[in-house]
Amino acid sequence: MNRELMKGNEAIAEAAIKCGCRYFFGYPITPQNEIPEYMSLRMPQVGGAFVQAESEVAAINMVYGAAGCGARVITSSSGPGMSLKMEGISYIAGAELPCVIVNIMRAGPGLGGIQPSQSDYFQTVKGGGHGDYNTPVLAPSNLQEAVDFTQLAFDIAEKYRTPVIILGDGLLGQMMEPVVIEEKKPLDIDRSWASTGWDGKSRKPARINSLNLNTEDLDAHNAKLQAKYKTIKENEVRYKEYKTEDAEILVVAYGTSGRISYSAVDEAREAGVKVGVFCPLTLWPFPEKQLFEAAKGKKAVVVVEMSAGQMLEDVKLNVPHDVPVHFFGKPGGSVPSSEAIAAEIKRIKEVC
């Protein structure tokens, strides 16, 4: 297969098209603009549709409409736009519709800035919208993963009938790296729930809906959702490890800070520190048991994030209680250098 040098945003867009996604609804916001730009050119070429919506609110509701028709549909945004989309994401989760949502994170809060950040972890992983729901969250740390996870996201979305979020950041969106994007066929699964125009006989008329005024029915619906989330937690956890076999210190980082930590680990090892990286690839479901095992017996865990410490909370919940957890990171759009992370690893080595 040919490797192509692509920007992360464009690679995500092409990966979606190559696995049968034919609908994009979105609104411009930096640093994800290459996704709608790319889609606006490509969708008509492949017989799909691109609509630049009047807002992120409208965009996610267009996604709700298209997803309700059983179509492969995607939208993308960044922090402020994601906040607006949360209403729709809650409805999509409630109505159990499959779709893929890409968040190329920028620093907040508020309008914040346009530089890369990982400060939407809470919003993305802990729900974001109203009600008891979760969305599977895939966090690529390089562009091949961005491609593979985009295609995987559609499969997970359709298999479980749930919105799936790709959580990237401005650095992953803007950088270029070689990628291989393969054609992938959509799953051969039951879509008889979808609204496709009723023929009046072969099925019941479709009801794409998240309203349930009867408490018993809504209880039952929530129980069904929770059972589904339990299955996802059992089946869809993904993570990777780097040089952890002999490590005394374990760095836990995802996405951009994950890949930079790989370099930091190499640099710290040159200085004689035995250190490795545990990199969650799914943030929900979080690799709870796997992290617990990986952290067992370590002298220290260091969480590296481009935030004030959000995944940190999940790490603290899932490492043995006798392993100290340190935090290195900051909010505001700064990308930590591998040198700075390596220096922190060396400092922690001294104190533990």
User: In the complex, what is the shortest distance from the CB of residue 187 to another protein, in angstroms, rounded to a whole number?
Assistant: 18
Which CB, 231 or 337, lies closer to another protein? 337
Can you say whether the dihedral through the CA atoms of 72, 155, 222, 123 is positive or negative? negative
Nearest residue (CB) to another protein, 68 versus 127: 68
At residue 78's C-alpha, the angle toward residues 72 and 81, to 5°, is 85
Judged by CB, which is closer to another protein: 209, or 235?
A: 209
Task: Compare residues 65 and 309 and give the one whose CB is closer to another protein.
Answer: 65
Among candidate residues 247, 248, 264, the one with its CA nearest the CA of residue 256: 264
CA separation (Å) from 145 to 15, 104, 232, 281, 312?
11, 14, 20, 9, 23
Q: How far is the CB of 105 from another protein (least distance, A)?
A: 14
Secondary structure element (H or E) that encloses residue 41, with its range: helix 34-45
Instruction: Indicate the residue among 144 and 222 with the shorter CB distance to another protein.
Output: 144
Find the shortest distance in angstroms from Cβ 227 to another protein: 23
CB-nearer residue toward another protein: 130 or 289? 130
Residue 9 Cβ vs another protein, minimum distance, rounded to whole Å = 11
Kindly tell me which of 276 and 285 has the beta carbon lying closer to another protein: 276
* Closest approach of another protein to the CB of residue 301, in Å: 19
CB count, 10 Å around CB of 18?
Answer: 16
Whether the link from the prior residue into 109 is cis, omega within 30° of 0, is yes
CA nearest to 23, candidates 75, 61, 60, 58: 75
CB of 319 to another protein, least distance (A): 23
For another protein, give the closer residue by CB, 78 or 318.
78
Q: Given the structure tokens 């997970």, which residue do they identify?
A: 156
Q: Give the DSSP per-residue string, 185-198.
A: PPP----TTS-S--
- Least distance to another protein from the beta carbon of 62, Å? 4
Strand partners, 199: none
Query: What is the greatest pairwise CA distance in the chain?
Result: 73
Q: CB nearer to another protein: give 65 or 324.
A: 65
**Considering the complex, what minimum distance in angstroms separates the CB of residue 131 from another protein?**
12
- Three-class secondary structure assignment of 67-81: HHCCCCEEEEECHHH
For the beta carbon of residue 32, count every other beta carbon within 10 angstroms.
30
Q: How far is the CB of 156 from another protein (least distance, A)?
A: 21
Smaller CB separation from another protein, 205 or 322? 205
Q: CA geometry: angle at 98 spanning 97 and 101, to 5°?
A: 115
Sign of CA dihedral 212, 213, 217, 218: positive
Q: How far is the CB of 263 from another protein (least distance, A)?
A: 3
Nearest by Cα to 114 from 287, 264, 335, 281 = 335
Residues near another protein (CB under 8 A): 3, 5, 23, 25, 30-31, 49, 51, 53-55, 57-59, 61-71, 73, 87-88, 91, 95, 114-115, 170-171, 174-178, 195-200, 205-211, 259-264, 266, 335, 337-339
Q: Which residues of 214-253 are buried (b: 16+ CB within 10 A; e: fewer)?
A: eeeeeeeeeeebeebbeebbeebbbbbebbbeebebbbbb
